[in-house]
Structure 1
Amino acid sequence: MSPQITQYLFFGLIIVVFVVFMFRNSRKRQRDAAALNQGLKPGAEIMTTFGVFGTIESFDEAENKIVLKTGPGSQLTIHRQAVGRVVTTPDDAATTQLNGEPVLLDDAASEPEFGQRIEPVTDPTAPGEDPTTGTRGGVPGRSAE
């Protein structure tokens, strides 16, 4: 083959790969937008594009307005496009309750309270200071630090 034909085939292949990636990215964006729109229901917790978290109180599809409860006694009216992501849907909020009480998802009960003394756990096989001989790491008079 001549070098010109090889060059044209190479550039044609690059264009085909570029077009395939463009279609793939557009389909992914469409799927993400559809998933976001499905999560926009009253009771869902969302984060706006400007970083405000809140719960959807009402949603007006004709005007594309969302009334967002951000705290006790405070509400914001935002445009639908200002929603960055859905943090929890109303279905997710229902699953984090047990017998009508919310379930703690973090392990806060295992952490000590402020001022509580924690006793260190010593491993007899670890190379530490031997309380009887005063040696550290098996060499008398030297520390392993």
Structure 2
Amino acid sequence: MPFDPLTLIMLAVLAVLIFFMFRNSRKRQAEAKELQSKVQAGAQVMTNFGVFGTILSIDEEENRVELETSPGTVLTVHRQTIARVVEPAAGTDAPAIESIDGEPEFGERIDGDAGPDDTGSTDASGDAPKKSDD
């Protein structure tokens, strides 16, 4: 029983999809194992619901983690809610968000060129327009 070309193409596509499915599964397992190896007492972490904190203790039997979110505030969460370990920026103490001082206001020009309605406007060649006394 010979296979027609369409059946062969469909089988090839199915094989490729299965290959990528297994590959992505292995990649996710490796990432999860790496994350769990980084989760230790004293690590700065972020939970799935966006809370940042420092791990105080880990209860392996109950799969619970105690996080200190601010001084004196301790949360107990399940170990699987840890989304990622937050690593400090490479050797800088500068804030993560740059200051926006000196940014132009809405509609303000950045490069300081005069607009077409201003008296100092120039044409495309960079020369001032010539006035005729007609």
- Using the size of structure 2 for normalisation, the TM-score is 0.68
Contact 1:135-1:141 within 8 A present in 2 as well? no
Structure with the largest fraction of helix: 1
Which residue does the alignment assign to 2:29? 30
**Structure 1 residue 135 corresponds to structure 2 residue 120:** yes
Which residue does the alignment assign to 1:64? 63
Partner letter of residue 135 of structure 1? Answer: G
Which residue does the alignment assign to 1:51? 50
Deviation at 1:127, TM superposition (A): 5.8
Identity %: 40
Report the CA distance shift for 1:136/1:8 in structure 2 as closer, same or farther (over 3 A): closer
Report the CA distance shift for 1:127/1:7 in structure 2 as closer, same or farther (over 3 A): closer
- Using the size of structure 1 for normalisation, the TM-score is 0.64
Partner letter of residue 30 of structure 1? Answer: Q
Partner letter of residue 67 of structure 2? Answer: L
Structure 1 vs Structure 2 CA RMSD: 3.4
Q: How many equivalent residue pairs?
A: 116
**Where in structure 1 do 4 or more consecutive aligned residues deviate above 6 Å?**
107-112
Instruction: Give the SS at the match of 1:20.
Output: helix
Deviation at 1:5, TM superposition (A): 2.6
